Structure 1
């Protein structure tokens, strides 16, 4: 039997190759149709992008950057620590007795300012200062008052010269409280002070050029007569800003 020659072998191989090529063309997807559906002019890029990842390969996704600068902190709706409202009364009058002395103490507060007057019928002292955080500190000529406010009272210490006393002064309303009158009488400066307690007890002095005299009885809202001169005592609303 004759062996086929090399040309017969080549011819048979060519026939097989042609048949395999025809089968490949019939089963392969059309890249032209895919490009047309994608609607892109660059056929090379979509082909590469549409290729599935190789087996075992991993992919990574880069998250979009977040603009942290534009994120504002949520409001707390509360005031900063230590910024609580001041409990000190905006307007209040206190009057009471200096313990161990028997003299009277009157204290008035208005919008953070404070004035006070002490009188025992022989010695007197006018003081001024501040009111904050339910405490008051007032100073005068050789005198000092420090007191705490609360429960409708002012409680504290009074010093006049070297003498010291404690006092408790409850809240009062007009006509009780502190009164003051000033005038110039025949060239002399006159300053009168009165303290009126609940129940009507009162005490005061009139100082004429630094010489004290017993004050005439005060009827709140009415003038008083001092050595033939009429004085009109006023409550603290009239003089607290000027003392």
Structure 2
């Protein structure tokens, strides 16, 4: 199994928790001193931090099998921790590092807002290298920009992750919405969220003010890109 589960570090954990549940995510039972929230596809972990930043993260089922498969595809995996804290650490060609953590299989998405999918962004000066790493950990091709500056993947057990051209390696949290952006905007307004809708080259995006003082992006399903079959 593979599920997208980015980790967002923030000094505003409670405010983020309220925002995520208002967006339609479900707060899961507390575990390990952190909050986790499930969307219709993918999950988000919140951690208290002095400054806001996001890191990539994934959930898997069997760590040893995952490590063997990933290594055989050409991407090194370092096993960290022991006992219930074991995880696999992967480092991309650009130096960005992230964890794949084993969990008990299950679908936590019941009752979430339909069509709202976690989209973790891997900003990188090496899109092809990041894309190869995502393929090697088991992510499946989804959409690709004609210019080669964006390659998006889906995880079998929920969530999306995209390698996106950027000057420095880093990660960001966003969402994709499978329905019409205007419909989502109306839903969010009815829940008291001061969201706005903007037209962009690839489609429409709903912008939501977040507790860290920036804008959370919820993109309509990508248009004008190349799709990949199952």
In the superposition, the TM-score normalised over structure 1's length comes to: 0.26
Larger RCO: 1 or 2 (CA < 8 Å, sep 6+): 2
In the superposition, the TM-score normalised over structure 2's length comes to: 0.27
